[in-house]
Amino acid sequence: MRIGLVLPAIPAYSETFFRSKISGLVVNGHEVVLFVNGETMETHYCGARVVSSFSTQGNSILLLLRAKVTLFVLLVSHSKTVFRFVKSERKEHTPWLTLISRLLLNAALLSERLDWLHFGFATMALGREHVAEAIGAKMAVSFRGFDYYVYPIKNSGCYSKLWSKTVRYHVLSESMKLGLISYGIPDSSIFIIPPAIDTAFFSPHPAFQPNKSLQILTIGRLHWIKGLDYTLEALALLHLKGVAFHYTIIGTGQEEERLRFTAHQLGIDPFVTFAGKQSSEYIKKQLEQTDVYVQYSIQEGFGNAVLEAQAMGVYCIVSDAEGLEENVMHGNTGSVVPKRNPKALADGIKAFLGIAAIEKVKSSEQAIARVKRDFSVEKQELKFKAFYENS
């Protein structure tokens, strides 16, 4: 099959869930075409052909000329497809100027013959709901977290057109599936395929010894949705109780200045390290030295970093935010505590200190086994293969 995957940009090296999906489909004999926003110098990625969408950047006169050429070529070479797309848009009374801008936005898609058109994030499908039908392809959409839990709050009714289409939905967790069902999406159209990690790379370090002071780690962008301010407040409570710790945050983002100031005001800045953006090798080495991994997000689709920590045998304490409750098995592979509650998190970390060594080993072994069994790249590849082929 020819599968078109629409993404904001070429996936970064760290985005293993896209890399493994694309390479897995190619290995299984499918042709993958990757559509990304704006110009790119790359023509291939993980075996997929890369196609750039119409760029709105540059000189206005050159942009106008390019737009005219793009529309002319599209009309001449794909007139029937354009007619079907225009007919669907006009049926919904789309203004002509908006329609023309959508033709430019979707010119690369409307020029392809595909069996499947898959939008890697639901927000990528906005303004493109009629494209799959116009080119005679089946339509698939992935919900990954922000596009489901946050974006619709600011943009009420944004997916109403999407809900009316025949779509195969990919979600990360059972809670997301139940949410889609509440919108009237049939159960048979929703497939749960959680993230996957390289379990061969993220494997436990055999020589790990507990640290003298508790080593705590969080990996993620410095964004309000990750609940890092609540984490710092919880650690301040532990500091007041005399618990020795060092907290490392790997990641960058717009909240760094505020979080550094928060750590300073709480009096724990000597015990907090902002490590910035780091490589997978650095992350693995840091996990080898970590006693407990904390992901205290306000909202989380699932959380790859939590899977990586569990694969390394690190005890995980997470919030009860959506997919995290399914990521960590409370009392088995880690702990789940209420979100937005620094005292609950502090109590959870303190409870970890009281767990007997033999129980920590048992929890570690259960986490490693579960990640290898349920969240390997190989298993994800098989699920996506079935996602497209069993239709």
Q: Which amino acid is at 120?
A: G
Residues contacting 79, CB < 8 A, separation 6+: none
| Strand partners of residue 319 | 337
Q: Is the CB of residue 391 less than 8 Å from the CB of residue 138?
A: yes
- CA-wise closest residue to 355 among 327, 329, 332: 332
Q: What is the pLDDT of residue 214?
A: 94
Label the pairing between strands 48-52 and 44-45: antiparallel
List C-alpha distances in Å: 237 to 218, 231, 268, 341: 18, 10, 10, 12
Domains belonging to the chain, first-starting first, are 2-196+377-389 (3.40.50.2000), 214-374 (3.40.50.2000)
- CA-wise closest residue to 91 among 49, 129, 42, 122: 129
Q: What is the pLDDT along the chain (391 residues), one digit of tens a residue?
A: 999 999 998 887 667 678 878 888 888 889 999 999 877 778 888 889 999 887 766 677 887 888 898 889 999 999 999 999 999 999 999 999 999 999 998 999 999 999 999 999 999 999 999 999 999 999 999 998 889 888 999 999 999 999 999 999 999 999 899 989 998 999 999 999 998 888 889 988 665 566 678 999 999 999 999 999 999 999 999 999 999 999 999 999 999 999 999 999 999 999 999 999 999 899 999 999 999 999 999 999 898 999 999 999 999 999 999 889 999 999 899 999 999 999 999 999 999 999 999 999 999 999 999 999 999 888 888 898 889 987 6
Span 40-93, pLDDT tens digits: 778 888 889 999 887 766 677 887 888 898 889 999 999 999 999 999 999 999
Confidence (pTM): 0.87
Q: What is the pLDDT of residue 312?
A: 95
Q: What is the pLDDT of residue 116?
A: 96
Q: What is the pLDDT of residue 207?
A: 55
Q: What is the pLDDT of residue 60?
A: 77
Percent of the chain whose predicted confidence (pLDDT) is above 90: 69
Q: What is the pLDDT of residue 206?
A: 63
Label the pairing between strands 272-276 and 245-250: parallel
Q: Is the CB of residue 324 less than 8 Å from the CB of residue 306?
A: yes
